[in-house]
C-alpha cells in the first residue's frame, strides 16, 4: 500500500481511528529547513526516566515489559531500535519523540547542585508514534503514514492538494493496525553473512 495522500484539511479526521492527536512538530516560516510539519497519532509506547530514582520504564499497552536501573542503558536500547533506512518522502515516518533533561548531564560530568528539584521533571521522556500525518509545506500536500505503509512507495505527484473542494481522504484509509515493536528482552540482530 502506498503512503496515503490526504487533503491537508483532513489531518484530524485521518488520525481519528488511532486516537487523539496530541503532538505537533511544526516548521517555522519558509526556509531551507521548514518543508515538513507533522501531526502525530497517539503513542504506542513510552520510555520514562524518574529523576529521583534513576529508574527507567518502558510502558506499552498499559504494561511495563522492560525496566532499567541505568538511564544511559535505556537510552542505548532506544537508539538500537532505530533501524529504518532512508527512503523517499517525509524524513520522519514515525518513531521516538521526546526530551532529555538538563540534569542528565550529571551522568557525564560533576555539576554543582545549587537549587532544590521542586519541579520533579524526569531525566528524559520519550513516546513512540507509529501513525502520523506529514504535511509538505512546499507543495501543500499531506500524507497519512501508518505501520502498514511507512516503508511503502511515496508519490510526490499525488492529486490531493488544498485546491480540491472536498476534505475527504483521496483514498480509503487503512484500518488501525497495532503491532509489537519491542522485543523483550532485546535481541541482537543476526550478523550479515
The 10s digit of each residue's pLDDT in 151-192 is 444 444 454 433 332 333 333 333 333 333 333 333 333 444
Pairing mode, strands 4-6 and 23-25: unpaired
**Which has the closest alpha carbon to 101: 78, 82, 120?**
120
Domain annotation covers residue 151: no
Whole-prediction pTM: 0.71
Domain annotation covers residue 158: no
If one counts the domains in the chain, the total is: 1
Domain annotation covers residue 168: no
Domain annotation covers residue 33: yes
Instruction: Please state, as a whole number, how many other Cβ atoms lie within 10 Å of the Cβ of residue 179.
Output: 8
Domain annotation covers residue 163: no
The parent domain of residue 127 ranges over 4-145
Domain annotation covers residue 180: no
- Do 136 and 35 meet the contact criterion of CB atoms below 8 Å apart? yes
Domain annotation covers residue 106: yes
Domain annotation covers residue 37: yes
Comparing 69 with 32, the larger pLDDT belongs to 69
Amino acid at each position: 500500500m502506498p503512503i496515503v495522500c490526504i487533503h491537508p484539511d483532513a489531518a484530524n479526521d485521518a488520525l481519528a481511528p488511532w486516537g487523539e492527536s496530541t503532538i505537533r512538530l511544526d516548521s517555522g516560516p519558509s526556509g531551507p529547513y521548514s518543508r515538513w510539519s507533522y501531526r502525530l497519532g497517539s503513542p504506542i509506547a513510552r520510555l520514562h526516566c524518574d529523576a529521583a530514582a534513576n529508574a527507567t520504564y518502558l510502558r506499552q499497552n498499559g504494561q511495563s515489559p522492560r525496566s532499567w536501573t541505568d538511564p544511559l542503558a535505556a537510552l542505548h536500547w532506544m537508539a538500537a531500535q532505530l533501524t529504518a533506512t532512508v527512503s523517499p518522502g517525509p524524513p520522519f515516518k514515525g518513531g521516538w519523540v521526546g526530551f532529555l533533561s538538563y540534569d542528565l548531564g550529571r551522568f557525564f560530568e560533576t555539576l554543582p547542585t545549587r537549587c532544590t528539584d521542586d519541579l520533579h521533571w524526569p531525566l528524559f521522556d520519550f513516546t513512540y508514534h507509529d501513525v502520523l500525518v506529514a504535511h509538505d509545506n512546499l507543495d501543500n500536500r499531506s500524507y497519512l503514514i501508518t505501520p502498514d505503509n511507512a516503508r511503502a512507495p511515496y508519490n510526490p505527484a499525488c492529486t490531493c492538494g488544498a485546491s480540491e473542494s472536498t476534505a475527504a481522504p483521496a483514498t480509503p484509509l487503512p484500518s488501525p493496525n497495532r503491532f509489537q515493536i519491542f522485543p523483550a528482552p532485546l535481541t541482537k540482530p543476526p550478523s550479515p553473512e
